[in-house]
Amino acid sequence: MRLRVRPSTVRGSVRAPPSKSYTHRALLLAALSGGPCRVGRPLLSEDTEATLAGIEALGACVDRLKDGLRVECDALRVPSREIDARNSGTTLRLLTGVVALLPGAAVLTGDESLRRRPMGPLLEALRALGARARALGPEGRPPVEVAGPMRGGRVALPGSVSSQFLSSLLLACPLAPEATDVHVTPPVVSEPYLEVTRYMVRRFGGAIEGGATDVHIPGGQRYAATDVEVPGDFSSAAFPLVAAALSGGDVTVTGLDASLPQGDRRIVDLLRSFGAAVLETPEGVRVRGGTLHARTVDLGATPDLFPVLAVLATQAEGESRFVNGAHLRLKESDRIESTVAFLRAMAADVQATPDGCVVRGPTQLRAAHVDSRGDHRILMAAAVAGLAAEGPGLVTDPESHRVSYPTFLEDFRALGADLEVIP
C-alpha cells in the first residue's frame, strides 16, 4: 500500500488529536495509583494501545467508556507473558521502570525497529537501584529482562540519549522503599518531556525535587487516584499548521492548551519566526501562508518537529540550519538520514550533518516515490511536502500514522488535501 499525494492547498479547522505523551503517563500513573481513575479523551493509537496492553498484563482492569477510559488496579503483578511494546519506545522504557518495582522477572520486547533502540543506560541505572536488569539483544538492546524489587539509591544517567530513561525513573522511583538520587550528565535532550512527566507525577500526588541534572525522589510514596483530561497534542498539530504555511493555506487547529507543559508548543513561535502568519486565540492556533525566511533551529528540546520543519525550510529564502539533534538518529528510523533522503528525492537542496541538516531554499519540490522507512513522522512530513510538489507523489507505509495521529488522513482530507491510499 502507498499514499498518493497531489498538490493541494489546505484550508479550514480541525481539532488537535490528544497528546500521546500525556496519554502514556496518565495510563501508567492511573495503574500505579490503584484507581479507579478516569482518563478523559485519551489518544488511542498504536503506541498508546501498547501501553494499555502493558498495564493490563500487569494486572490493571481497563474499561473503555464513551468519553475515555476507566483504569483500576488492585495490585500490580509480575506478568505471565512477555510484554510487547510493539513500536513504542515510550511504552518499553516507561514500563521497564515500573516492572522493576515487582518481586519477579519480566521480559519486555517490541518489533524489529524497537529492538534496535538503546536501553543500556536505563538497565544500568535499575541495577544500581537494586533490580536485576539485562538486555537479551546485542549491545544493550531489547528484548530486556527485569526483576525487582528495586530499593532506591544513587545513580547516574546520560542525558544525551533519551529523556525517556529519566522519565521511567521519575514515574517508578516514588514507589520504591528508599529515596533515589539521580545525576543526569548534560546535555539533557528532550527536556520538555521530563516536564510533562513531573507535571503528571504531581497531578497524582507524587513528589520530585531538584532540577534537570540533579533529582531527588523521596521513597515510600503512594500515588492518589486522580481523574485526568488529556490535552491536545502540539506535536501532531504541527503537521496541519506547517501544511498551511507551506501551501499558502489557512488552517486553525483547536483544542491546544499552551499553559500546560508541552515542548512542541514551540511550533507556534517557530512558524512565526519562519515568516508564517500566526494567530493564537483561546480556541486554538491559526496559521496562514506568508513569505518564508530561513533560520537556525535548535532541535535539542523538540526533536519530533524536525522532519516537518525541514520540509518547511525547503520553501524558505536562504539557508536554514537544524542543529543539536544527534539523538534523532536513535528514533524509529535515523530521522536525520530519513528526512534528508526523502527531501533529496523530491529535489530539495539539503545536506545532512552529524546533528541535523542544512536546507537551502526556496526550491520547487518534485513529486517522487518516497520510502517512509515505516516511521510515522517521516510519512506525515513527506505527505505535507507532497502538497507543495509538482505532480502526484507516492509514500510507502501509509498506515504508519496510526502510531501517533490516527486521524491524520481524515483531518487532512477535511482541510482539502488530495490524499489517497492505493495498492
Residues labelled catalytic = 304
Q: Is 138 exposed, middle or buried (CB count within 10 Å of its CB: 0-12, 13-18, 19+)? A: exposed
Residues 335 and 306 sit within 8 Å (Cβ to Cβ): yes
**Residue located via cell numbers 525535587:** 209
Q: Phi and psi dihedrals of 173, rounded to 5?
A: -65, -25
- Compute the distance between CA of residue 358 and CA of residue 346 in angstroms, rounded to an integer: 15
Q: Coil, strand or helix: which one is 80?
A: coil
CA–CA dist 295, 328 (Å, integer): 19
**DSSP H or E stretch at residue 246:** helix 234-247
Instruction: Look at the block and give the residue holding cell 507535571.
Output: 199
Written as nine digits, the cell of 97 is 521502570
For residues 418 and 249, the answer to whether their CB atoms sit within 8 Å is: no
- Write out the three cell numbers for 135: 538486555
* Chain Cα centroid distance, residue 179: 29
| Segment (H or E) for 210 | strand 209-210
Q: How far apart are CA 242 and CA 289, in angstroms?
A: 9
d(C-alpha 411, C-alpha 392), whole Å: 19
Burial code (b: 16+ CB inside 10 Å, e: under 16) for 185-223 equals eeebbbbbbbbbbbebbebbebebeeeeeebebbeebeb
Please give the distance of CA 302 from its chain centroid, rounded to a whole number.
Answer: 10
Rounded CA gap, 347 and 358, in Å? 14
**Any residues with CB less than 8 A from the CB of 211 and at least 6 apart, and which?**
none
- DSSP H or E segment with residue 295: none
Report how far residue 203's alpha carbon sits from residue 195's, in angstroms, rounded to the nearest whole number.
Answer: 12
